[in-house]
Chains A and B, each alone.
Chain A
């Protein structure tokens, strides 16, 4: 399983765009990149997943460069309720769903 590296913490203010970058230098050809969000005292929740280029949903965008050695989760116009830990995971398509959660990035949004 590819190892991921992401910042331990980030601070932002309401209304700003937040970009969290994840490094995964050893990503394999068949690996997908997935982001989960975890609020305090809750289980993680799926945000977005991608394989290459750009993916966008109602919550976030995921940018993946051509070499796929990194990816960036973009949260547009964050609010206080986006304060959470964000995990970047890289996994093979058919490996039994074994997800490796690193330490994640603790995002703190201030008023």
Chain B
């Protein structure tokens, strides 16, 4: 039981390049989330998927797109990376997306955009 896994762990991009961050969970959870965390700050919600087939914007969605590929997988795409997107990205999942449901976080992806 791996929980929430993310790939890659580290990535360096040049401005304008694109990439997709992958996230998968094996807990049969319905809801999945993407956050970013900048140095010295809390996490900010980028996008979330309350259930398979649905996605919604969070606090900071600009410059990102997401795909809920199936119940297990939720990917985050940067179409044209910018230095302002240098951050640590965390994926999380919860059983039904209720605030009383624990969110389980992955280990994070450290992204640097030059």
Contacts and interface: CB of A to CB of B under 8 A. Distances in A.
Interface in A53-111: 87, 91-104
Q: Describe A's contact surface by its main secondary structure.
A: loop
Contacts of B59: 100
Interface of B: 4, 31, 33, 35, 40-45, 48, 50, 56, 58-59, 90, 92, 94, 97-108
Contacts of B105: 42-45
Interface residues of A, number: 26
Given A42-B107, A43-B105, A43-B108, A93 B43 contact: no
A5 B41 CA distance: 14
Interface of A: 31-32, 34, 36, 41-46, 49, 87, 91-104
A32 B45 contact: no
8 contacts: A43-B92, A44-B105, A93-B98, A93-B100, A96-B56, A97-B99, A99-B45, A104-B42
B103 A98 contact: no
Contacts, number: 67
A87 B103 CA distance: 13
A87 B42 contact: yes
Contact of A99 (B4, B99, B108): B99
Nearest to A47: B102
B26 to A, nearest CB: 16
Contact of A92 (B31, B99, B106, B107): B99
A102 B94 CA distance: 20
